[in-house]
Copies of this chain bind each other. A is one copy, B any other.
Amino acid sequence: MDLTPSPLARPFPAMPAIAGVTLCVARARYKDWDRCDLTLVELAQGTSVAGVFTQSACASSEVELGRANIAQGAARALVVNAGNSNAFTGYRGREAVEQIMDQVAEHLGCAREEVFVSSTGVIGVPLPKDKARAGVAAALTAEPCGWEDAARAIGTTDTFTKGAHASAMVGNTRVEIAGFIKGSGMIAPDMATMLGYIFTDAHVAPHFLQELLSAANAQTFSCITVDGDTSTSDTVMAFATAKADHPCIENWESPGADAFAAALTAVCRELAQLVVRDGEGASKFITIRVTGAVCDDSARRVGLAIANSPLVKTAIAGEDANWGRVVMAVGKAGEPADRDKLSIAFGGVWTAQNGLPVEGYDEAPVAAHLKGEDIDILVDLGLGEGRAAVWTCDLTHGYIAINADYRS
């Protein structure tokens, strides 16, 4: 975190402790640095777990094992290594992950499948087993730390620490949800990896926690993009310690399910947006709302086509209400669209409607909006009821500087 904070940075929030969650950090020294780079989260017995993972066909061993072990539904620990993604390291990388799982499982007296591991950083270098063993040993005997310490320890080239929390009433019991995330800062040759962890004292059955996390993911983490490049290690996990005193939330009929789902989604949305706010070189936070699509998923894909367009992103960086580039991006999205029903607004002002430029629209409020930090683009396709919101940042010289000018 020695980098200059993003101009879009947000302060780390004050977050409550979550019963059943103990955070510790240690120095594994995966890189030549003097900072905590190994995070251990110990979870109470009875903690249920859910996770969503990268769709990459070249996923890391951590992702493969995590995806497999989610199935048994219980978690006792999470270990996050920063500075080495351990991706594309074959059997040697896998051995390092299994060693960590065994070491922690032995200490806690749990099954190895209840220990989840993530790694982020350089690709193609097997995680060094000796450093991992010493780091885990140090973390297992360390004093507990706070949320921001853990958020800092999982970061690599992030420019600020990122956390979010919410609470929900389950019957008469207040439950807390807190999470932290890293991502979207990167210096060559590191990968942009997004790792996010959410903890709650609520009592939620694993299968339903997975359903809620997957649903929240579809509206939040799956709706952000910085540069359209998908990491080999992206991971978001949720852990529910069941320490709060309420009947288990088993399904949508359970009391408090709706409130819990809303709070979980709010935490996911905030964490996702914080990643965009730390997008490499970002100077503007862009919200793209798409309405009138044939379905919600189509709306999301159109939104992402706009959000990933380098021409749209550079136009916003240049504070230029270039709706022609938005038309272009809609056209290339591969989704149903009708040029003559398309309407586009910047900052709430329609610049094009029903396939034609709006003649004589008031450019002053549009220009003022584009000079701001938060940019709103609304695209109405005029076809159906599908809608989505997508978040991204602009594409600036800072992105090139971070990814081309500095060498590994």
Contact = CB atoms under 8 A, between A and B. Distances in A.
Interface stretch (A3-11, A200-208, A311-319): A311-319
Closest 10 pairs (CB-CB, A-B): A123-B324, A58-B331, A56-B331, A314-B403, A230-B332, A318-B404, A314-B404, A317-B404, A57-B337, A58-B339
A229 interface: yes
A338 B57 contact: yes
Oligomer: number of copies: 2
A30 to B, nearest CB: 16
A51 B330 CA distance: 23
B339 A59 contact: yes
A314 B230 contact: no
Interface residues of A, number: 71
B403 A310 contact: yes
A65 interface: no
Q: Is the interface of A mostly helix, strand, loop or mixed?
A: loop
A324 B124 contact: yes
Given A229-B332, A329-B229, A404 B396 contact: yes
A395 B357 CA distance: 31
A318 B405 contact: yes
Contacts of A123: 324, 327-328
Given A318-B406, A337-B57, A331 B188 contact: no
Contacts of A406: 318
Contact of A230 (B89, B192, B331, B405): B331
B403 A400 contact: no
Nearest to A88: B327
A315 to B, nearest CB: 6
Given A188-B320, A338-B57, A352-B88, A403 B328 contact: no
